Amino acid sequence: MRKKWLKRGIGGLLLVAILVAGVFFGPLVYGLWQKGFFSQGAAKKQYEGTSIDNLKYMRTALLGYEDSEGQFPIAGGWMDAIKNRLNTDDLKKGESFKKLVYPEYEGQDGKYGYAFNDAISGKYHGDVKDPKTPMVFESTATELNAHGDPAKLRRHGGLAITMNGEILH
């Protein structure tokens, strides 16, 4: 009889120890698992997005900037302002910056191919009356932080993304 209670006592203590360890270490292990710490072969990849993908990423980064800073960035430094908001954990280091480069210009130093609409510069999205106002567009100006009027700088047949996320062709 004594052995039976002893076995139950040890089993109960073991169960309690496992539960206590789970409570203390569970969140840590779960967090590491979510970040891919335990996964094999979860190699980071290169970015291979299209211009539409790039425009969507830039719009999201601009909206995130505006949400945290209270206004859109000043046009002359818009790419610099959002570049840290383009990072994703699945990309190799430095690959997220390619989201600011028109795909045909990849590998060409100093060429980007996108511009920010001056009409949005430094404003809060509520200040922009027309939700179809282009935010970022494929541009004939190719330098870093290019900006201006889409009616003058938008590449012929080039894409643009509006405040409400619509892609203009």
Domain ranges for the chain: 1-42, 51-168
CB-count exposure of residue 139 (10 Å: 0-12, 13-18, 19+): buried
pLDDT score at 44? 80
Alpha helices in the chain (DSSP H): 2-34, 51-69, 78-82, 150-153
Average pLDDT over residues 65-81: 97
pLDDT score at 2? 53
Q: Is the pLDDT of residue 89 over 90?
A: no
CA-CA distance, 97 to 93, in Å (whole number)? 9
Q: Is the pLDDT of residue 32 over 90?
A: no
Query: Mean pLDDT score of the chain, rounded to an integer?
Result: 87
Nearest to 69 by CA among 84, 50, 90, 54: 84
Average pLDDT over residues 158-167: 97
pLDDT-derived band of residue 6, with 50, 70 and 90 as boundaries? very low
CB 97 within 8 A of CB 45: no
Nearest to 159 by CA among 55, 47, 48: 55
| pTM, two decimal places | 0.74
